[in-house]
Structure 1
């Protein structure tokens, strides 16, 4: 059984990188299709875009590596073409994009608290007037079981109602100027309810037992930080694996090149030249004339 031209480490790294690229593409597309509004409104869309771009660029070189391994061919860094680039160029670009992803993740971690608070506050303020923000807040409060920014009481100071259904006793002028006159409503959106139906109005009199009372900020902030850290770890792992892959392939190539140079340098033809077209009947085979005569006489006696 012939030995495989690629080392087991190269084979395993290629397989792991291919799996990471496929899973990263699927994960990024799922996030874009199902929670795109949350990504855009929380400022994590850039991180997800970098993940998707990196995974797409990783896929062709990883596919070439697996194809070469499956066919029993050696992975060539400097001669193999992946589309219009050499394999080593593709790997270098993958490393650069992952470094950029690390920078974006670190920037998002440091600015996450401020950006998240700003987006949530702005969405709550525009809950009544902008349908996009209404859908975002309702989906967020339903899925995470939270209400308001820091507490459900944040809704009391917001003019989020479409109608005066929960506080008919307040005039329209008072409703439009409630922030000035200090008028507060003790009502929250229905997305704050623990179940499909609950008491979401007159909470000061009836109590808040049927609604979620904890705020959404801490939950959203924690989810974003965990997501960014996971992406950061993925970028670091990909960089380490790509560098390790380059190291092992180049080490084996240098080993083969060094062996060829060693063989050419110590070729026996460089030590003693031999005439390949040497004629066996040539007189140059005769080393000593006396020995030649003795051999001839012995041969003659043998014939007799």
Structure 2
């Protein structure tokens, strides 16, 4: 039991050749790369169409690219740490030196941080423009209809600024919802009239309802107790802003950590090279080996001489 405890304490108190900041920084970067890959793939798989409409697909692609590029570099650093080797900035990662890989990671994260800052600056105008376009093309474009329905159901909101935004939009599909007969002689006249003038109504889509079914028509007379009256612009803007701020924090963190690791790795590599030059110039390491070799040879030769002298004495006595 004491032996196991002693071995465990030795492992805890073990100090490798690398700086502790390098070890913890490499672990942080490895976890960050894994999270970036998993998070970006999950967003593409679950809400890929929403990302395209909100124009966040490029930002998510940059996050995925950063995670993929960081992975082999972090694995290389952690492998050298696990083997107890001193990390050299000139060591090869697949086909490139370590310092070049780290500089590429820093550059890509700087580009991602710049894109995040630009999107944060114009976030509100972009979101309002996208939602206004979705309301306008709700009936004609299925992707915008699906987008607005998903936003209104999940965020429990209605319209851009309020539910009244739907009143001035020709969002109702008259042919589908009212099942008018296209062969009716009055169909063409009504269809032309609907194209010339915007259809003003006091109804909203069913995705504005608080529950699965509600009264979404004749809201002026029936009231708005069954629907969500708050607009979706503020909610969507807040979610996108938080997402961009999280991405910006990750980009800046990776830039700082990678820069610190690159500086420390170069310093300890230069320190090792300087130490080796000092030993070579003084001849300490080679002289020690030479001395130890001579000493071992001397012991062997002296022992053989002693054995031969003893045998000679025995032979003299026998004579």
* Structure 1 residue aligned with 2:288: none
Question: How many Å apart are 1:238 and its aligned residue?
Answer: 0.3
Q: Does 1:26 align with 2:45?
A: no
When residues 3 and 174 of structure 1 are mapped into structure 2, their CA distance, relative to the original with a 3 A threshold, is same
In terms of fraction of residues, the more helix-rich structure is 2
Q: 1:217 pairs with 226, 230, 233, which one?
A: 233
Shift of 1:177: 3.5
Does 2:194 correspond to 1:175? yes
What is the CA deviation profile of residues 20-67 of structure 1, one whole-angstrom value per residue up to 9, with x for unaligned ones? 000011000111111111111112211111111111100010011111
Q: How many aligned residue pairs are there?
A: 267
Provide structure 2 residue ranges, at least 5 long, that are not aligned to the other structure. 1-9, 181-189, 286-292, 295-319
Distance 2:274 2:27 in 1: 29
- Quote the offset at 1:173 in angstroms: 5.1
* Correspondence 1:5 to 2:20: no
Deviations 1:43-99 (A, max 9, x none): 221111111111110001001111111222222210x21122111111000000000
Stretches of structure 1 that go unaligned for 5 or more consecutive residues are: 270-275, 278-304
Once structures 1 and 2 are overlaid, which stretch shifts more, 216-225 or 64-73?
64-73
Distance 1:199 1:59 in 2: 53
Task: Pick one of 214, 224, 227 that aligns with 1:198.
Answer: 214
Residue pairs, 1:194-273, within 5 angstroms:
194-267=210-283
Per the alignment, residue 298 of structure 1 pairs with: none
Paired with 1:268 and 1:193, the residues of 2 have a C-alpha distance of 84
Q: TM-score, normalised on structure 2?
A: 0.78
Q: Deviation at 1:266?
A: 4.2
- Give the superposition deviation at 1:175: 3.4
Moved more, 199-208 or 32-41: 32-41
1:125, 1:159 within 8 Å by CA — same for their partners in 2? Answer: yes
1:48 lines up with 2:60 in the alignment: yes
User: Which residues in structure 2 correspond to 1:1-304 (within 5 Å)?
Assistant: 3-78=15-90, 80-163=91-174, 172=191, 174-179=193-198, 184-267=200-283
Alpha-carbon separation, structure 2, partners of 1:9 and 1:125: 54
- Judge conservation of contact 1:95–1:239 (CA < 8 Å) in 2: yes
TM-score for both structures, normalised by structure 1: 0.82
Q: Distance in 2 between matches of 1:151 and 1:203?
A: 13
Q: Describe the shift of the 1:253–1:207 C-alpha distance in structure 2 as closer, same or farther (beyond 3 A).
A: same
Distance 1:256 1:268, change over 3 A: closer
Q: Go from structure 1 to structure 2 and tell me whether the alpha carbon gap of 1:70 and 1:199 turns closer, same or farther (over 3 Å shift).
A: same
TM superposition shift of 1:263:
3.1
Residue by residue over 1:221-247, the C-alpha shift from the partner in whole angstroms, topping out at 9 and shown as x without a partner, is 111111111100110000110011112
Asked if the contact 2:26–2:74 (Cα under 8 Å) also holds between the matched residues in 1, the reply is yes
